[in-house]
């Protein structure tokens, strides 16, 4: 099975404070990988390294390398990285535009001019994210008027409009109720047929429900990384065992 991302000896420091330490990890293509660990352990920093967002931080020093399809992401154009590795944040971030314009934004930017083609991209991705039926009669409504769960599905759909290979999600369900969370989990499982998904979650049951692989990060280090069932049923490290048993949060 192929590995779409390889992270080698990755370290990150902010203002000389070490946040990520010697991370080595390979991420499997078209699988869901969950990143778990207590608040402040470096989960967001880690996934923001994967699409070069941490590069933008003036106080960050990054060492090591990340290979995307065997090429160092720092040797690839940033636009290409961002196009292929999309990101969805904890709070939904729709643009203050209509639902349709949110969806058409990136394809227009990348030069899709044909109205029919644009419409078909919009519809296809809204269907993939289980949103189409709910919004098809209101595509001109402001996206910010949607419910939280709908906004988050719209943000995932919007990410898909540029056909990324990888989708990074940073605690995408933390502000959502059970029903919306379930909806997004089912959608992500479906999307993993076609896309590689890396999801940060503080919800251990969520990792168990959807992820093929799980990495446990503690104080900026990967303590354990393996198949999800194995990690939860058979942890090698005492710290993993204690974390999943809720000894510390």
Task: List contacts with ligand ADP (CB under 6 A).
Answer: 14-15, 19, 37, 39-45, 57, 59
- Measured from the CB atom, the residue of 164 and 172 that comes closer to Mg ion is 172
- Measured from the CB atom, the residue of 102 and 152 that comes closer to Mg ion is 152
Q: Say if residues 168 and 152 touch (Cβ distance below 8 Å).
A: no
Give the helix/strand (H/E) hosting 62. strand 60-68
To Mg ion, the closest distance from the beta carbon of 39 in angstroms equals 7
To Mg ion, the closest distance from the beta carbon of 182 in angstroms equals 22
Does the CA dihedral 93-201-49-14 come out positive or negative?
Answer: positive
Burial of 168-192, coded b for 16+ CB within 10 Å and e otherwise, reads bbbbbbeebeeebbebbbebbeebb
* Residue 147 CB contacts under 8 Å (≥ 6 apart), including other chains: 180
- Measured from the CB atom, the residue of 37 and 149 that comes closer to ligand ADP is 37
Per partner kind, with CB cut-offs from 5 to 8 A, the member of Mg ion, ligand ADP, none near residue 211 is none
Per partner kind, with CB cut-offs from 5 to 8 A, the member of Mg ion, ligand ADP, none near residue 57 is ligand ADP
SS3 86: strand
Instruction: Report the C-alpha gap between 37 and 239 in whole angstroms.
Output: 11
To ligand ADP, the closest distance from the beta carbon of 235 in angstroms equals 19
To Mg ion, the closest distance from the beta carbon of 44 in angstroms equals 3
Of 19, 27, 44, 99, the one binding Mg ion (CB under 5 A) is 44
- Measured from the CB atom, the residue of 42 and 172 that comes closer to ligand ADP is 42
Q: Is 129 in the site for Mg ion (CB under 5 A)?
A: no
Give the helix/strand (H/E) hosting 44. helix 43-50
To Mg ion, the closest distance from the beta carbon of 133 in angstroms equals 32
Per partner kind, with CB cut-offs from 5 to 8 A, the member of ligand ADP, Mg ion, none near residue 149 is none
Per partner kind, with CB cut-offs from 5 to 8 A, the member of Mg ion, ligand ADP, none near residue 160 is none
- Measured from the CB atom, the residue of 44 and 84 that comes closer to Mg ion is 44
Per partner kind, with CB cut-offs from 5 to 8 A, the member of Mg ion, ligand ADP, none near residue 123 is none
Q: Is 201 in the site for Mg ion (CB under 5 A)?
A: no
Instruction: Report the C-alpha gap between 166 and 14 in whole angstroms.
Output: 26
Q: Say if residues 122 and 98 touch (Cβ distance below 8 Å).
A: no
Per partner kind, with CB cut-offs from 5 to 8 A, the member of ligand ADP, Mg ion, none near residue 41 is ligand ADP
What are all long-range contacts of 242-249, with beta carbons under 8 Å and residues at least 24 apart?
243/36, 243/37, 243/38, 243/216, 243/218, 244/204, 244/216, 248/38, 249/38, 249/39
φ and ψ of 107, to 5 deg:
-55, -40
Per partner kind, with CB cut-offs from 5 to 8 A, the member of ligand ADP, Mg ion, none near residue 172 is none
Q: Which residues bind Mg ion (CB under 5 A)?
A: 44
């Amino acid at each position: 099975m192929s590995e779409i991302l390889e992270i080698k000896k990755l370290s990150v420091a902010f203002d000389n404070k070490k946040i990520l330490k010697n991370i080595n990890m390979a991420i499997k293509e078209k699988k869901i990988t969950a990143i778990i660990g207590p608040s402040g352990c470096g989960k967001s920093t880690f996934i923001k390294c994967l699409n070069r967002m941490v590069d933008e931080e003036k106080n960050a020093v990054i060492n090591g390398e990340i290979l995307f399809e065997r090429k160092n992401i720092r040797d690839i154009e940033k636009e290409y990285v961002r196009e292929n590795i999309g990101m969805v944040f904890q709070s939904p971030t729709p643009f203050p535009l209509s639902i349709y314009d949110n969806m058409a934004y990136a394809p227009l930017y990348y030069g899709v001019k044909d109205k029919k083609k644009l419409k078909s991209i919009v519809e296809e991705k809204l269907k993939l994210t289980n949103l189409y039926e709910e919004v098809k009669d209101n595509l001109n409504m402001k996206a910010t008027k949607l419910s939280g769960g709908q906004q988050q599905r719209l943000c995932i759909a919007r990410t898909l409009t540029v056909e990324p290979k990888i989708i990074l999600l940073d605690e995408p369900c933390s502000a959502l109720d059970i029903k919306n969370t379930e909806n997004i989990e089912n959608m992500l499982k479906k999307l993993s047929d076609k896309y590689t998904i890396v999801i940060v979650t503080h919800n251990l049951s969520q990792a168990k429900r959807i992820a093929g692989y799980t990495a446990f990060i503690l104080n900026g280090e990967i303590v354990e990384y393996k198949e999800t069932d194995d990690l939860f049923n058979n942890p090698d490290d005492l710290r993993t065992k204690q974390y999943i048993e809720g000894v510390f949060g």
